[in-house]
Amino acid sequence: MLIRALLVLLVVLNLGVAGWWISRPDAPPPAPPQQPQGVARLQLASEAPPPRAPAASPAQAAATAAPSTPVEAPPGVAAGTVAASLQCFSLGPFADAAAANAAVAALRADIARSRTREVEGASSGNYTVFLPPAEDRAAAQALAQRIAAAGFDDFLVVNEGELANGIALGLYRNRSGATRRQHALQAAGFPAQVRAAGEEGPSQWWADIAAEQGMDAAQARAKAGAKQSQALDCAALR
């Protein structure tokens, strides 16, 4: 009986000790050792705070905040200011290149740019576009078929005269129309030529000049010894 009571008392004591052990508060962490004065405390890598991004400079902050706006370059001097400050004329006609060059020389001190050009004389009749005579009629017919295959029309094989077995490709009232037809045929590989059907007048020469704004066209014409002065687009004189 006494032994049983001792066993029960022992069990109760063990349970009490176990309950106290479980319910007791955690012991406080040990205090860090006192660091000597003037010595920094060592830190583990896991204890170090995350690095902060470097502060942006005022210029970088302004560049980030302000939207990027393309800056247009100022217009070129030659294309803008200079072109706007010039006026251009054609003076003539002159009988030959020497007279046109003499007119330019007389105005040299008053002008910025100049050139001389030849204008072919007008014809009293029309202008013919043609291909020279072929070796024979068969060759002329074969050439005519090639012209048609290239997409050209308004042509015929000449039967007689100095252009017999040649190809007539059109008759024009002015040289510019005949020249356009000639160039189109030449671009396609046909050696087209142009000649005046009537008597053609002599060539004329003109002097094209560019001067500062304010130049009087009548005075320039008189100084150059020209009969006419015509306004000219300065873009044509570059």
Per-residue pLDDT tens over the stretch 171-228: 888 888 889 999 999 999 999 999 887 655 677 899 999 998 888 889 999 999 999 9
At 123, phi and psi to the nearest 5?
-95, 145
Cα–Cα dist 167/132, whole Å = 7
Find all residues with CB under 8 Å of 99, minimum gap 6, and list them: 205, 225
Q: 45-59, 114-128, 130-144 — which is least confidently predicted?
A: 45-59
**What is the pLDDT at residue 84?**
63
Question: What percentage of the chain reaches a pLDDT higher than 70?
Answer: 70
Residues 77 and 191: their CA atoms lie apart, in Å, by: 45
Cα–Cα distance for residue pair 161/178, rounded to 1 Å: 21
Contacts of 14 (CB under 8 A, 6+ apart): none
Q: How far is CA 20 from CA 14, 17, 23, 238, in A?
A: 10, 5, 5, 109
Compute CA distances 11 → 19, 21, 23, 204, whole Å: 12, 15, 18, 140
Cis check: omega of the bond before 93, within 30 degrees of 0: yes
Please provide the size of the chain in residues.
238
Amino acid 152 reads F
Q: What residues contact residue 192 under an 8 Å CB cut-off, 6+ apart?
A: 129, 130, 131, 169, 181, 182, 185, 186
Q: How many CA atoms lie within 13 A of 188 on its CB side?
A: 15
Average pLDDT over residues 131-152: 93
Which of these, 119, 118, 113, 92, lies nearest to 103 by C-alpha position? 92
Give the tens place of pLDDT for each residue, 84-112.
689 998 999 998 999 999 999 999 999 99
